[in-house]
Structures are given as C-alpha cells and as structure tokens.
Amino acid sequence: MAGTAVRGRLTWQVSAVTALIDETASVKTIELQAPDWAGHLAGQHLDVRLTAEDGYRAERSYSIASAPGEPVALTVERLEDGEVSPYLTEELRPGDDLEIRGPVGGYFVWDGDDSVTPLMLIAGGSGVVPLRSILRHRSNLRSTVPVRLLYSARSLADVIYRDELDQEGAGVEVIYTLTRQQPQGWTGHRGRVDKSMLSEVAWPPDQQAIAYVCGPTPFVETVASSLVGLGYPAQRVKTERFGGIGGS
Amino acid sequence: MDDLDGNAMGGLMQEIFGVEMTTAIETCAHCGNAAVVAETAVYLRGPGAVMRCPTCTNILMVVVRRQDMHCVDMQGIASLSPAGQTA
C-alpha cells in the first residue's frame, strides 16, 4: 500500500498503461504510470504479474527501459512460445492496468558516476533495453563519460530504438553488427560478436573501461569470456543473461 | 528457455530476504567458489526456481512457492552475505 511499504520490501502495485510504442515487428515499449513507484536506477528490472480469471498467476522480470526520473517503461519482445510476452505485446491497451513491483536488482546498474570511464555497452537483441536506460541517464545527466555501444541484431529491421540510437550525441559511438541480413551497401560489421570484433571495437583494457553485457545466455558467455581474454578484469565485466532465445 | 542468471531471481530473493540480494556474495558448499548472486546460473522453467554454482553447477538454492508460502532449500550454500557485509 502507498506510504506503508517498508524500505527494501517489494510490494505489488497497480500501474496504468499510458502508451504502447512499436519498436520492431515483434518488440513493443510499454509506458506506465505508476503512482507508488519509488524511482529506479539505470539497468534495474521490475517484475510483472499477470493473473488469469481462475487465479493462475505468471510472473516475469523485465529490464526497465526508461532512465531514472522518467516514467517507468518496459520494452518487451514477443516470444512465440511465451506465456506473458504475447499478452503484453498483443493484448495490452492504453488504459489497462498492469501489476508490477520493483525496482529489482543492484548488480547490472550504472549510477551515473562520472569518475568511472569509459563505458563499453554490448547488447545482443533485446539485451539493449537496460543499456538504453543507461544511455538516456547519461544524456539526462549531461555526463561526458565516453560510451561505445556494440549492438548485435539479426537485421537492421530488428534494431530496437534505432532512431534514438542514431541521434546519440557527442561521446557516444553506436556500432552495429548484423548477423543474418545486411542491407545493400552495408559497410558495418556483420556476423556474431567474437573476440576479434571486440579487439577492434571495445575500449582497450588499459582504458579501465567498465563493460555491461546483456543478451541471450550464449551471447553473454562468449562476449564476457572474450573481454576477459582481451585483458578486461572479470569484475569490470557486468553481465545479464536472459536465456537462449531472442534474436542477436 | 535456456538458463538465466541470478539477476532473474532478484525479485524473488528480495521477497524472501527483504533486501536486495543480487549483489550478495554466495559461497558454494560443494566447491567453495564465491560469486556474486547475479553471476550464478538460474533456471526458472521448472515448478520452482533453481540456482546453481557458476563453477561446479552444484545446486545452491531451490525456492518453491505455493500460495504465499515459500519453501527455501539452501543446503548447497555455505554462506550468503548481502553486499557490504562479510560472512
């Protein structure tokens, strides 16, 4: 209940869907109005709970797509065999209620600390969602921390937040690699992220960068071990895995 | 679904322990490896949540929920310390 929640305790609260935005053919951003939301850090999650008429409940954890201080937003990819994501991406309408709790997590977060430089953000598919929160937070803070985002997607049409990423300002380099389909004349990277691509794209280890890697589990395993192989200390590689599905 | 990591159990663990636990350090009772909870391997596809050691795959913790009751089995964990605290 509002005002009575004990700090640290998680309480389910009812939010209202204010907008649904198509990001790609299978990905939507859901903007929420959550009156009891206590705020969040860039990179944190929230839990969503759906309750069926017979009382059956399903919960999922999603990365928060908006920056601290902005209204809560989720970006959800529809998984064909999913239990929750088809409802969120196909059935949900503006004005609907959505039960959420959070924020959750304290590991995969960027607190806006200017002294930690630079940032190496690496996304596979919808793993870009918490990294977008970090980028927006950086922008809102007018931080000058240098950032590189390496974003692996199946094709250009599968790139989430493309307009926003293409407008990133000074200090942010966005590098795409397209794994399945490249447009005619594509001069960017192609194929999966591997050690050789990282040695070209990632900040050299002597820059003391901190890396945030988010994507499908095999993607994260490959990227994290490659970064460590290139000389990144393991504790400067923060990882978040969301399973073996999702396009990267 | 493939395996997830400890980040995916953040909400459930906070529900049980009352504090943020993905930054906690767990020590495996089998191999002695210490890791941040966020870096453990987590499986949510069964009837409960299973957390495994990222090094030796020993089962660290199993949580099963029925109604509002949790059954928490932590026999695989030698110690679990929230961030900022030592075992």
Contact A107 B14 (CB under 8 A): no
CB-based contact, A59 to chain B, within 8 Å: yes
ipTM over 0.85: yes
Structural contact between residues A113 and A141, judged by C-beta atoms closer than 8 angstroms: no
Across the interface, of B18, B37, B83, the residue whose CB is closest to A9 is: B18
Contacts of A75 (CB under 8 A, 6+ apart): A23, A27, A28, A29, A30, A62, A63, A65, A126, A129, A132, A160, A161
Q: Is the pLDDT of residue A228 over 90?
A: yes
Domain map (residue ranges) of chain A: 13-104, 119-241
Task: Tell whether the model's pLDDT for residue A5 goes beyond 60.
Answer: no
The residue in chain B having the minimum alpha-carbon distance to the alpha carbon of residue A61 is: B8
Distance CA A88, CA A96 (A): 11
pLDDT digit string, tens, across residues A88-130: 999 999 999 999 999 999 999 999 986 768 999 999 999 999 9
Number of domains, chain B? 1
Closest partner residue to B19 (CB to CB) among A8, A59, A239 is: A8
CATH domain A13-104 topology: Elongation Factor Tu (Ef-tu); domain 3 (2.40.30)
Contacts of A216 in chain B (CB under 8 A): 2
Mutate to test the interface with B, among A12, A60, A133, A241 (most CBs of B within 10 A): A241
Q: Which residues pair with A74 in a beta bridge?
A: A30, A64
- Express each pLDDT in B37-73 by its tens digit: 999 999 988 889 999 999 999 999 999 988 779 999 9
A48: left (phi over 0), alpha (psi -120 to 50) or beta: beta
Q: Is residue B31 part of a domain?
A: yes
Structural domain including B33 reads 4-81
Task: Give the minimum alpha-carbon distance from A71 to chain B in angstroms, rounded to a whole number.
Answer: 20
- Write the residue in B5, B11, B23 that is nearest to A106 by C-beta: B23
Specify the CATH number of the domain A119-241.
3.40.50.80
Q: In angstroms, rounded to a whole number, what is the distance separating the alpha carbons of residues A46 and A236?
A: 24
User: What is the rounded CA–CA span in Å between residue A214 and residue A178?
Assistant: 16
**Token pair 């890791």: residue:** B35
Residue at B67: amino acid letter = Q
Using DSSP bridges, classify how beta strands A147-153 and B59-66 pair: parallel, antiparallel or unpaired.
Answer: unpaired
